[in-house]
A = this chain, B = another copy of it.
């Protein structure tokens, strides 16, 4: 029952979607039709330990409810996208290198604090579900979500459901090797998709080239402070005619196209949806190349019916997906 007096009181159930990583916690309050009516944001502060982070997530949820003058009693269910491998049935974070968490019963702990049903899944799975459910109306029979930001992650929809894999780790597409002699990846191997096309890979290439004397508009744009560089700065530099930056971004798009083709050859999905900060900032520069290269590398006949799209959800894919997950899990 709703305790508040505001205009949305008639709506019998709201959903909260939470997206959190090593840096920040985002919480969004959604209506039954998955319209966002309030958000809140907090730093994760994972160095403070598991309990402190869980406490911060709970507070972020309450703040986002406060934002739209609701309380936790108005919430039917909470969905959470968390980084790492997740046992979604138990709502447990099995292993998260980002947070340095191992076997954390996130669902149980939050349900104890909040007294509402909580559902947890991997952040990229949740974002994939967000694109699938909220953006594409749960229509594609199968879909692969590819999220390119600092790193690269993915999620897989098969038979209109998230496909978790046998140990709940399916969708680690960022560590698909594309160039066995390529640059070293954070995972220790060489030539992973993530080491070739993520924001980190792009920034590493730019830093190295600048250190070797490469001239670029970026140095002006950032007033020499390269460490502040964001994906939007790359777009700006390209717009101003910086051919060096254009080449680096196009190279990333080419690798992404090959990764997309690999995934199409393996899984032949109805839709491949790209998202994440890099795609959001550089959509016009990258998407035509990604589609071209993918169709060149896809096996004849494999791609005829597959749609390659860029998600319009941007940064919100995580919270929308988490709310959609909460909705679909609490109304089976």
Contact = CB atoms under 8 A, between A and B. Distances in A.
Interface of A: 85, 94-95, 97, 141-142, 154, 156, 158-159, 163-173, 175-182, 187, 189, 191, 255, 258, 261-263, 265-270, 296-297, 299-302, 304-306
B265 A173 contact: yes
Contacts of A173: 265-266
B268 A169 contact: yes
Contacts of A167: 268, 301-302, 304-306
B266 A266 contact: yes
A261 B177 contact: yes
A142 B267 CA distance: 14
Chain B CB within 10 Å, residue with most, of A158, A166, A179: A166
B172 A306 contact: no
A90 to B, nearest CB: 16
A101 to B, nearest CB: 13
A305 B166 contact: yes
Contacts of A154: 266
Given A166-B142, A266-B263, A306-B166, A85 B189 contact: no
B306 A170 contact: no
Given A158-B158, A258-B180, A266-B263, A299 B175 contact: yes
13 contacts: A156-B267, A163-B267, A165-B267, A165-B269, A166-B270, A166-B306, A173-B265, A173-B266, A177-B261, A179-B181, A180-B182, A180-B258, A189-B297
